[in-house]
């Protein structure tokens, strides 16, 4: 197999893996009631922990602001059963990893958001099961804040 063809094939495999990592939207409550469509957020931070808990997973990242102040943001994911079926595993998210996370901020104004996607430094991207990525719905990533 020529190297170009190999790359093409690997590209298709990669595309299939990205699809696998797309968690289904599984919420037990209204995301639109808890989070604000008009408050897109996009942060770069260091992962401090991930809670594989029910009814939703939570990703915590330390984000350093322009003033040097560090704020620990909490990003909600789809339910952990949906993440697991989509291929997410604990080792995908090592503490200390630098992540770019986008989503929508909570209506209560706290540093809490519904996660849309997580991008690693190597460009790998996981989708967290935001309704924006739901089947049959145009996927609309949030704009940068």
In order, the DSSP letters of 34-92 are: HEEEEEEEEEEEEEEEEE--SS--EEEEEEE-TTS-EEEEEEE-S-HHHHHHTT--GGG
Adjacent-strand bridge partners of 62:
46, 72
- Using an 8 Å Cβ cutoff, are 43 and 101 in contact? yes
Which of these ranges, 6-14, 62-70, 87-95, 120-128, lies near another protein under the rule CB under 8 A? 6-14
Shortest distance, position 137 Cβ to another protein, whole Å:
4
Residue 88, interface with another protein (CB under 8 A)?
Answer: no
Residue 30, interface with another protein (CB under 8 A)?
Answer: yes
Surface-to-core class of residue 53, CB atoms within 10 Å of its CB (0-12 exposed, 13-18 middle, 19+ buried): exposed
Residue 25, interface with another protein (CB under 8 A)?
Answer: yes
Shortest distance, position 136 Cβ to another protein, whole Å:
5
The count of other CB atoms within 10 Å of the CB of residue 1 is 8
Among 22, 77, 79, 117, binds another protein (CB under 8 A): 79
Binding-site ranges for another protein (CB under 8 A): 1-2, 5-6, 8-9, 12-13, 16, 24-35, 37, 40, 51, 53-56, 58, 74, 76, 79, 81, 84-85, 104, 106-108, 110, 112, 114, 130-132, 134-138, 140, 142
């Amino acid at each position: 197999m020529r190297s170009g063809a190999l790359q093409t094939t690997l590209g298709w495999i990669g595309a299939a893996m990205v699809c696998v990592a797309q968690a289904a939207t599984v919420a037990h409550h209204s995301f639109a009631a808890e989070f604000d469509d008009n408050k897109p957020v996009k942060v770069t931070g260091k992962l401090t922990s991930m809670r594989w808990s029910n009814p939703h997973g939570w990703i915590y990242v330390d984000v350093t602001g322009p003033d040097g102040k560090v704020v620990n943001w909490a990003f909600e994911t789809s339910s952990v059963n949906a993440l697991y079926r989509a291929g997410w595993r604990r080792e995908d998210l090592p503490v200390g990893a630098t992540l770019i996370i986008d989503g929508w901020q909570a209506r209560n104004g706290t540093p809490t958001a519904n996660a849309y996607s997580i991008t690693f430094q190597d460009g790998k991207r996981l989708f967290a099961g935001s309704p924006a990525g739901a089947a049959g719905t145009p996927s609309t990533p949030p704009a940068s804040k």
